Amino acid sequence: MQQNIEKNVRHCGCCHRPLPVEAFYIDKRTQLPDNYCKECRRSFSHNRYRSSQDTKAGEEERQQACRYPVITRLADRPFRLLLILHAKQVVRESVERKRERLKENPSSRPSTLNTSILWQE
């Protein structure tokens, strides 16, 4: 790679053209020119903004295509109630396992967590 003797010429990291330093944005913090020229940076920012807008537009479609069913969005009431009861049972069993674990070894009780709720019966 050939080194530039002129200090006011820089190569763009995107289009690889040698351009004057004035064709690059200057970083306020470091006071150094950007790696991309203004034209490439503008194009990059524009494309990124457009893809972000497309992403926001497709958000609703992605939410509907979840890998697992969202219980509150199910239209079938009996099936929804069955899933809610199952979820409550899973949580209840988890709390019970934690209670047993804390009763067996009280020294392992986390000091930052308020576990007084678990001990109420």
DSSP summary character for residue 20? E
Give percent above pLDDT 70 in the chain.
Answer: 73
Confidence of residue 61 (pLDDT cuts 50, 70, 90): low
d(CA 43, CA 55): 18
Question: pLDDT digits over 7-20, tens only?
Answer: 789 999 999 999 99
The confidence score (pLDDT) of residue 59 equals 67
**CA atoms within 13 Å, Cβ hemisphere of 108:** 8
Beta strands in 1-121 (DSSP E): 9-11, 18-20, 24-26, 33-37
AA letter at 24: F
Question: pLDDT digits over 91-102, tens only?
Answer: 999 999 999 999
On average, the pLDDT of the chain sits at 82
From residue 33, how far is each of 1, 3, 7, 37 by CA, in Å?
Answer: 20, 17, 12, 9
pLDDT at 81 over 80: yes
pLDDT at 27 over 80: yes
pLDDT at 108 over 70: no
